[in-house]
Chains A and B, each alone.
Chain A
């Protein structure tokens, strides 16, 4: 079955430390890949996306993600987190033939400690 998995429900990280959020997908063909963030009281904001080409994608707010076809993964990273990065992060995919219908992972809640 097609699925998007975010193995970590909750991550706590110290301010200034690095952050990596994992995402794995299971689809017949590589879908379009996205990371969204939802801060408290806010909507879903697009961090970055991957369609094809360079497997290392740069996004907003200093985030980047790396697509690894062999591992069906699209992990999100940030070298040094800020307190404002505390939020919930969602990996999402859109199958290339699905008219833009997203399938989301369960989300990873990131807590940033001083």
Chain B
């Protein structure tokens, strides 16, 4: 089975530009999560989708970040406008509904560099 796919794997943008990250979860996984790790810090939760609905977006840092999950399939995370402190690695994960017993499957991450 295909894993969680994220792209791009790397992105370098200038401050003030817009970037959109994409995550394709494992087919059939209703739960989709975004996390990020900024330089030298812990991996932090951003938000959680159940199908197309936002279950928990308590970790979103500010309104420059917009996450969507159209049709309950893939998800996008848009940063607009990007700031220097947004640099880091953005991870996506998916799981079957309520199936924490089997843990998540994480993607390889998108490394975002804002210059």
Residue ranges of A at the interface with B (Cβ–Cβ < 8 Å): 4, 32, 34, 36, 41-46, 49, 51, 90, 92, 94, 99-107
Pick the contact of B107 from A43, A92, A99, A104 — CB < 8 Å? A43
In the complex, the answer to whether B100 meets A90 with C-beta atoms within 8 Å is: no
Could you list 22 A-B pairs, sorted by A, with CB under 8 Å?
A36-B106, A42-B108, A43-B4, A43-B91, A43-B107, A43-B108, A43-B109, A44-B106, A46-B104, A51-B101, A90-B43, A99-B55, A99-B56, A100-B31, A100-B104, A101-B33, A101-B45, A102-B35, A103-B42, A104-B42, A104-B44, A107-B42
Q: Is the CB of A100 within 8 A of B91?
A: no
Query: Does B108 lie within 8 Å of A104, measured CB to CB?
Result: no
* Interface check B95, CB cutoff 8 A: yes
The one of A46, A51, A100 in contact with B33, judged by C-beta atoms closer than 8 angstroms, is: A100
B51-65, CB under 8 A of A: which get 1 and which 0?
Answer: 000011000000000
B16 interface residue (CB < 8 Å to A): no
Nearest B residue to A106 via CB reads: B42
User: In the complex, how many angstroms separate the beta carbon of A105 from the nearest chain B beta carbon?
Assistant: 7
| Dominant secondary structure of chain B at its interface with chain A | strand
Report the separation of the CA atoms of residues A102 and B45 in the bound assembly, to the nearest whole angstrom: 7
Whole-angstrom CA separation of A49 from B105 in the bound complex:
13
Instruction: Name the B residues within 8 Å of A92 (CB-CB).
Output: 43
Do residues B91 and A99 form an inter-chain contact, with CB atoms below 8 A? no
Complex contacts, A32 vs chain B, CB 8 Å: 100
Q: Cβ of B95: which chain A residues have Cβ within 8 Å of it?
A: 100
Contact B42 A101 (CB under 8 A): no
Query: How far is the CB of A57 from the nearest CB of chain B, in Å?
Result: 13
0/1 per residue, B34-47, Cβ < 8 Å to A? 01000001111100
Q: Which residue of A lies closest to B99 (CB)?
A: A100
Q: Is B103 an interface residue (CB 8 A)?
A: yes
Closest to B9 in A: A41
Contacts of A43 in B (CB 8 A): 3-4, 91, 106-109
Please, which residues of chain B bring their CB within 8 A of the CB of A106? 41-42
